[in-house]
Amino acid sequence: MASLARAKLAPLGTEVSAARAERLPFAAGAFERALMNTVVHLLDRPAAFAEARRVLATARGRLAIVTVDPAGAERFWLADVFPSYARIDGERFPAAAALERDLRGAGFDSVAVHERPTRLRYTREEALERLRARSVSSLALMDDDEVTAGIARAERTLPPVLEPVLELLIVIAA
């Protein structure tokens, strides 16, 4: 991901660094803005949020978080294809209350959570290609038999075009 970002941003004079969110190699107060995009479910949130608070300017610093809303997992199209999908995503993505608790615990005084349903669109073939390539990270947490059966189910039942709603949480912390 860092290589892709560098290729895209280098012509704009933007520097890209890769580091663990729980241990950032930047000075205190070095940034006004930080973004965590669909990653908080993979982090030690209290440690990562404390680091974000540390590197953000105290008066103007803002952390934006984009993450999947676990409350919407059972309504996402993959829940119809894979029996364990809703449980897996419901457990691995943090709920709004957990995010707010962890952010306040890390020293953020203001936390605003916004629900953001986002309509996606892809063809049946695009969806099947993603499933066959196992590019949906939740599939890595399922056993092979469920994934194989789910892909076969999708091949039989998906419509020509899918327009599912992905329920996201947008969190702004200051």
- CA–CA distance, 10 with 42 (Å, rounded to integer): 27
Tokens of 69: 């809303």
Which CATH number does the domain housing residue 95 bear?
3.40.50.150
pLDDT for 4? 87
DSSP secondary structure letter of residue 31: B
Give the pLDDT of residue 105.
97
Instruction: Evaluate whether residue 75 is within a structural domain.
Output: yes
Q: Is residue 19 assigned to a domain?
A: no
Residues facing 115 on adjacent strands: 169
The pLDDT assigned to 1 comes to 77
- Structural domain that includes position 123: 33-173
Q: Tell me, yes or no, whether 4 lies in a domain.
A: no
- Please check whether residue 64 lies inside any domain of the structure: yes
The answer as to whether 46 is a domain residue is yes
Does residue 10 form part of some domain?
no
Tally of structural domains, the chain: 1
pLDDT of residue 97: 97
pLDDT in the model for residue 22: 97
Residues 6+ apart with CB under 8 A from 98: 45
Answer yes or no: is 112 within a domain: yes
Give the count of alpha carbons within 13 A of 159, CB side only: 8
Does some domain include residue 49?
yes
pLDDT by residue for the chain (174 residues), tens only, comes to 788 888 998 899 988 888 999 999 999 999 999 999 999 999 999 999 999 999 999 888 999 999 999 999 999 999 999 999 999 999 999 999 999 999 999 999 999 999 999 999 999 999 999 999 999 999 999 999 999 999 999 999 999 999 999 999 999 999
